[in-house]
Amino acid sequence: MSDLIDEGATEGNAPEFSVSEISGAIKRVIEGEFGHVRVRGELGRISRPRSGHVYLDLKDDRAVLSAIIWKGAAARLAVQPEEGMEVIATGRLTTFAGQSRYQLIIEDMVPAGTGALMAMLEKRKAMLAAEGLFDAARKKPLPYLPEVIGVVTSPSGAVIRDILHRLRERFPRKVLVWPVAVQGQNCATEVARAIRGFNALAPGGALPRPDLLIVARGGGSVEDLWGFNEEIVVRAAAESAIPLISAVGHETDTTLIDYAADKRAPTPTAAAELAVPVRLDLLTWLEGQGARLIHAQRQAIALRGQRLRDLARALPRPETLLDGARQRVDTWGDRLPAALIRLVQLRRVRLSESAGVLRPALLRRAVEAERRRLAAAAVRLDTGALAREIAQKRRELDRETLRLAEAVQRDLGARRDRLAALDRLHETLGYRATLARGYAVVRAGGRLVTTCKAAKAAMALEIEFADGVLPVRADPSTRPAPGSGRSPRGQGSLF
């Protein structure tokens, strides 16, 4: 091995450096010559690890420069880096000995002109639109008259005063203000936090949940309004469950939150006008609707009254509706005693027929005959199995006989109770019970006599009392002369 080493190569006046010494010397030279630089280029290969630092490349058409933005500096950037954006980065050059490369430590970064900002804005707008955050189907209708309105804006600017003044003029409502920075590095984070904070309020809690949100800011340049173009703000507006009005800038200013909001207002004052109606207009409309309602009610009552009177003329009189029912009740009342008697007789006959068929004596005789037949069969077939079978049959017949006898007794008892009940009902509803209370039935020729005129015209009457029938005949000398209307000797009776 030692033979392969050229000992002469190590001789001479050239100094010998270690790798670390060379790396340190290069680092001092680069940091000394380029302690603070501004570099313009296009961003590429952006990486954001969990540490919070940002690793990226600055490039042009001929070279690439590695760059790092430490976590603290990344949080202070007004515009977050995006791939393809042209920027001017300010920082210092240094080396990384572990990979033998040089890199730029970025301390500040701004877009390289308005054109770059607008290009980045269009690219971000297209990306968010492709996700559906700007779709009209996602937008929610504004409440007609919200009870509580949440305003996300700066508490010290003229915007909040304009909104409150316009709300007082149109329709006073409760207003909750969430103070935020409306421009600068913290604008996007605070606005997104405010929108999500209002949505996180629970309905009916100590702090009322707004029914409507207004995100407002006055006019300004593209850089001033850039916070409302940030992706975090657009996503918070799209995710808001509370209807949201965007009122950022003047009428000619457009930010990405305007596309994600449920409604865009050209100015903060116009947002207040969209939020609530005019109270006086509502009162006027309400009075007009009340007058129309009263007029409509009067007309409806008059028309229904006339309709009722027209229908009443076609209706029959109430007393005539009951005439047929009264007649039917009288007819059924006359037919009821005879029908009850016939029903009792039919039930008696049916009971007698059933009792004749189901007589216990007949059943007992049949059972005895069956026993004698079985006994004779048992004598002829003197086997143990047949005797047991006969005994079993005998027990079954005894049980069946007992069951049938009990069933017959129960049926006969029930029929007797039913017949007795029908007899009692017949006695109760019959006219003989009425005769026992002092009434009488008058007949002439077998027909009922119910009027005095019919009794006077009859030659003979039969008066039925509770204990018998009394025949009565008319005395010819006492009959009234034809057409006189009264009886001789002042008699008006047949007796």
Confidence of residue 485 (pLDDT cuts 50, 70, 90): very low
Cross-strand pairs, 178: 152
State the pLDDT confidence band at 149, using cuts at 50, 70 and 90: very high
Distance in angstroms (rounded) separating the CA atoms of residues 369 and 8: 151
Q: In terms of pLDDT, which residue wins out, 165 or 360?
A: 165
Taking the C-alpha atoms of residue 114 and residue 121, their distance in angstroms, rounded to an integer, is: 10
Q: How confident is the model at residue 310 (pLDDT cuts 50, 70, 90)?
A: confident
Please, are residues 244 and 261 in contact by the beta-carbon 8 Å criterion?
yes
CA 443 to chain centroid, in Å, comes to 77
Q: Model's pTM, two decimal places?
A: 0.45
pLDDT for 241 equals: 94
Local structure of 175: helix, strand or coil: strand
E-only strand ranges, 15-132: 37-47, 54-59, 64-69, 86-96, 101-111
The mean of the pLDDT values for the chain is 82
Task: Give mean pLDDT, residues 286-313.
Answer: 90
Per DSSP, 76 falls in state: T
Burial of 157 (0-12, 13-18, 19+ CB in 10 A): middle
Any idea which of 153-157, 255-259, 287-291, 463-467 has the lowest mean pLDDT? 463-467
One-letter amino acid of 298: R
Phi then psi dihedrals of residue 319, to 5 deg: -70, -30
| Candidate CATH numbers 3.30.300.130, 3.90.180.10, 3.40.50.2300, 3.40.50.10300; the one for domain 122-277 | 3.40.50.2300
pLDDT (tens digit per residue) in 198-232: 999 988 888 899 999 999 998 877 777 888 988 99
Please report which helix (H) or strand (E) contains residue 149, including its range: strand 148-153
The Cα–Cα gap between 325 and 493 comes to 36
Beta bridge partners, 461, equal: 472
Domains of the chain, by residue range, sit at 19-112, 122-277, 333-429, 441-490
Q: What is the pLDDT of residues 67-78, one digit of tens each?
A: 999 988 888 887
Q: When comparing pLDDT for 139 and 450, which is higher?
A: 139
Residue 66, by phi and psi: left (phi above 0), alpha (psi -120 to 50) or beta?
beta
CA gap 177, 193 in Å, rounded: 13
What's domain 19-112's architecture? Answer: Beta Barrel (2.40)
Q: How far apart are the first and last CA of the chain?
A: 176
Residue-wise over 332-341: b if at least 16 C-beta within 10 A, else e? eeeeeeeebe
pLDDT value, residue 249? 84
